[in-house]
Homo-oligomer: A and B are copies of this chain.
């Protein structure tokens, strides 16, 4: 930050206003800033600064005789000039240690719990995305015979597990199933999902009769996986926090937000895009491409599996969010999660 283009004191005033508003939820007046944050100048001076900051688009007044409230741009400045990595509270630190000390039953469950845990930690809603198909390799694939056909089970090296019913039109013959199963186990391990599909496709072309049908169905299943990223691989926790959050004033806002969260595809695409390679990213209010989230902010970070980025976790709250805590929490959890996933799947 060093010397900001707006001038050092104005920057301090802006930070004070945003910080105070986040804490109190009340419009902040010049008097408050002068007494609560010792800037060594009088309210009148601060008033001038605030007027400038309003012209620049960082603040607005709800009405003439009220204090100022940050715009999305104001929050953006606040977040960008946040002191690097604030420490977590002891309670949070301990909670994280306990959470990651438990032995989880499987990766999917880890993500589900992580979403829930992250929401408790931050008091906002949280999302955990399952490892991306495109960033996973097939570790294992097999066909499980069932009365009505077979169940294709695909396990990725990121820990993701997909399953899909395979039904041949007029039943599947035992031997065909056994042969396909064998072929799958031999040929797809270590490949990307796309490459696996291509191999199975080729195998289908080369095969005949029942074998061909089964292989074609399996290839189709792989294709579906690639296209949709698999069904429901976003785990959401803490929706109650959003429902109770009165920073969302209108109920309609909450409703639309939930609608968007339930429409998982959109959120998925958006969050995957947001999660950069290394660090925590923040999207504020109208910066958000998803219309229903224009009154919300998102704090997102990627997690890794075996040194490669695999999925992402995020916190979703009102623009008047406690950014410091959320960012610290997301950063800490994403790091620990990467470690855990690595030992589980790697």
Q: Cβ of A344: which chain B residues have Cβ within 8 Å of it? A: 148, 165
Query: Which of A150-158, A309-317, A325-333 lies on the face that meets chain B?
Result: A150-158
Given A106-B163, A240-B259, A251-B251; 5 other pairs, CB 8 A cutoff: A106-B165, A112-B231, A139-B147, A140-B146, A239-B258
Task: Name which residue of chain B comes closest to A343, CB basis.
Answer: B148
- Are B240 and A109 in contact, CB atoms less than 8 angstroms apart? no
- Please give the distance in Å from A337's CB to the nearest CB on chain B: 15
- Please give the distance in Å from A263's CB to the nearest CB on chain B: 9
| Residue A211 lies at the interface, judged by CB distance under 8 Å to chain B | no
Q: Cβ of A79: which chain B residues have Cβ within 8 Å of it? A: none
**Cβ contacts A to B, 21 pairs, < 8 Å:** A105-B164, A108-B163, A109-B231, A139-B147, A140-B144, A140-B145, A140-B146, A142-B142, A146-B155, A147-B345, A148-B344, A148-B346, A153-B153, A237-B262, A238-B262, A239-B239, A240-B256, A240-B258, A240-B259, A244-B254, A246-B251
Copies of this chain assembled into the complex: 2
The size bracket of the interface on A is 35 or more
Q: Which 6 A-B pairs have the closest CB atoms?
A: A244-B255, A240-B258, A240-B259, A243-B255, A105-B164, A243-B254
Contact partner of A105 among B108, B148, B221, CB < 8 A? B221
| Residue A297 lies at the interface, judged by CB distance under 8 Å to chain B | no
